[in-house]
Amino acid sequence: MDNMDIAIKTEELTRIFGDTVAVDNLTLEIRKGELFGLVGPDGAGKTTTMRLLTAIMEPTSGEAWVGGHSILKDGEQIKQRIGYMSQRFGLYEDLTVMENIIFYADLYEVPKNERPARIERLLGFSNLTPFKERLAGKLSGGMKQKLGLACALIHTPEILFLDEPTNGVDPVSRRDFWRILYGLLKEGITIFVSTAYLDEAERCTRVGLMHRGKILIDDSPARIKKSLGFPMVELWTGDARKAEEFVRGCPGVRNVSIYGDRLHVALERLEALDGVIGKLQEEGITVRDYRSILPSLEDIFIAMVEGK
């Protein structure tokens, strides 16, 4: 690899299981110091992509380089330079927080003289210092994720891979976890995170929307949200679910999504809005308010997938 600024590069990376193409000709570049979010529903190919990039699994075809090393030839060098937290990260529930961290320090052959300072910093970083003698099995879901992260960071990796790290974790712990990731980003670590939560994707510096093994779009969240190319309106109605049925059939409507008591309506052109409101009033549904909005990543994803 020539470019010194690139942390991860893939060229037509493909992985096939039987009749299923899990990763389909993935070509991607992630720069050093980026927080890249691979976003998509279950079965999109996110975990397979991560397993290929961490040299745990071999591709069917294509190539990738992580930290300048080929996943085909330099798997062992890659594993020494990365941190990887899989969905089922291997914490030992019958060991304490401290014993788990020491176990991973042994595994990564962290020099004994460097350990005390690193461990103290990681415990402080993740707010686990008061719980260092607690058994891992007795921690909450959010604390287990922080301990997993501390273990994945003990050898000071250059690139961190996190596979759906906040799946099933409460909102407060999710926020804490992202605060820790931003701290790591400031230290120059490149972070590759997969998530099914589109609100989390908004926090990444760059996002790849993945569907059926392909990246549909890859850009900053702000630019992706401006890329839809047609107007979007948010409608407040008395009955969002009932309103959605009628709006979907209106001329000039591209797609509709429900967000609580509101609808997000993508239009061919803004003039179609009069017809939408008229139709709802005709059906006896009150339109409390409406406004033009910038679409969310979820709106973009739905529009792109439905477009396929």
Per-residue pLDDT of 3-25, as tens digits, reads 679 999 999 999 999 999 999 99
| Adjacent-strand bridge partners of 267 | 253
CB 244 within 8 A of CB 237: no
d(CA 47, CA 53): 10
pLDDT at 1: 45
Classify domain 229-307 by CATH number.
3.30.70.100
Q: Which residues contact 290 (CB under 8 A, 6 or more apart)?
A: 233, 234, 235, 236, 273, 277
- β strands within 183-237, DSSP E: 190-195, 206-211, 214-219, 232-237
pTM, whole model, 2 decimals?
A: 0.86
Tokens standing for 163? 């596979």
Residue 209 has phi, psi (to 5 degrees) of: -85, 120
**CATH label, 6-225, candidates 2.30.30.100, 3.40.50.620, 3.40.50.300, 3.10.20.600:** 3.40.50.300
pLDDT at 169: 85
- Residue ranges, comma separated, of all CATH 3.40.50.300 domains in the chain are 6-225
d(CA 272, CA 25): 38
CB 237 within 8 A of CB 286: yes
Q: Among residues 82, 17, 86, 95, which one has the least CA distance to residue 47?
A: 86
Per-residue pLDDT of 211-220, as tens digits, reads 999 999 999 9
CB 246 within 8 A of CB 263: no
Query: Helix, strand, coil % (nearest 5) of the chain?
Result: 40, 30, 30
- Residue ranges, comma separated, of all CATH 3.30.70.100 domains in the chain are 229-307
CB 53 within 8 A of CB 67: no
pLDDT tens for the chain, 308 residues: list them: 446 799 999 999 999 999 999 999 999 999 999 999 999 988 999 999 999 999 999 999 999 999 999 999 999 999 999 999 998 778 999 999 999 999 999 999 999 999 999 999 999 989 999 999 999 999 998 999 999 999 999 999 999 999 999 888 888 888 999 999 999 999 999 999 999 888 889 999 999 999 999 999 999 998 998 887 789 999 999 889 999 999 998 999 988 989 888 999 999 999 999 999 999 999 999 999 999 988 888 888 888 887 66
